[in-house]
Amino acid sequence: MGVNMGKGGGGGGAHGGSSGGGILDALHLTQGTLHIVMLGLDSAGKSTALYRLKFDQYLNTVPTIGFNCEKVKGLSGRAKGTSFLIWDVGGQEKIRPLWRSYTRCTDGIVFVVDSVDLERLEEARCELYKTAKLPENAQVPILVLANKQDLPGAKDPLEIERLLGIAELGNTHLWHIQRAPSLEKVWTTLWNTSTR
Ligand SMILES: Nc1nc2c(ncn2[C@@H]2O[C@H](COP(=O)(O)OP(=O)(O)O)[C@@H](O)[C@H]2O)c(=O)[nH]1
Ligand SMILES: [Mg+2]
């Protein structure tokens, strides 16, 4: 696949490690388009979340081979007027090594977790840690989406946060955990990062 996730012109990014600016620089560089990568185990609900954001409805999905990409415009709150280019990357084990090429130069990561699939929560935790610990992702804000909250037996977001060991990741990342996909939350997470 080898898709180049660079933002044209290269170099600059919300997490460029340079002083100040952060997301504001990124907004300037990308003319209001933020690049977001959605990661998570297969069947966590990434594609469903993407189409909810794009079309505001549930669509039937098939397992993602490769990736989906949609441009979605924020319509409310602080996200209003900002465009999000959202990459939804396949989560099957054999294609997870490709995640790294998508997170390079991204403005933010949305990590989607199935709140019912407790058997695979440890696997999800491992993948989240792998992604978070990559040196190039050190400054990238990660929004954890505790998905499938409508299903019986779903662990609530705080419990998911505990089970994923998010606190143990330290304060190098700005974390936010939430129930439903919302561009405003993505934006707020990015924004908060710039003002740390
Ligand atoms: N009940 C429920 N099912 C969901 C939710 N999100 C996704 N699903 C279902 O979970 C399955 C996998 O979703 P999909 O988006 O393809 O997962 P992906 O592999 O992470 O892209 C599908 O059958 C979806 O309908 C949710 O919030 N609630
Ligand atoms: Mg998918």
pLDDT tens across 117-147, in order?
Answer: 999 999 999 999 999 989 888 888 888 999 9
Read off the pLDDT band of 12 (50, 70, 90).
Answer: very low
Closest CA to 179 of 110, 124, 90: 110
Q: Is 149 annotated as a binding residue?
A: yes
Cβ–Cβ < 8 Å for 116, 154: yes
Centre of ligand 1 from the C-alpha of residue 64, in Å:
11
- Nearest-angstrom CA–CA distance, 52 and 58: 6
Residue 63: pLDDT above 80? Answer: yes
Task: Output the residue whose Cα is nearest ligand 1's atom 26.
Answer: 148
Tokens of 129: 């840690």
User: Which residues does the annotation mark as catalytic?
Assistant: 92
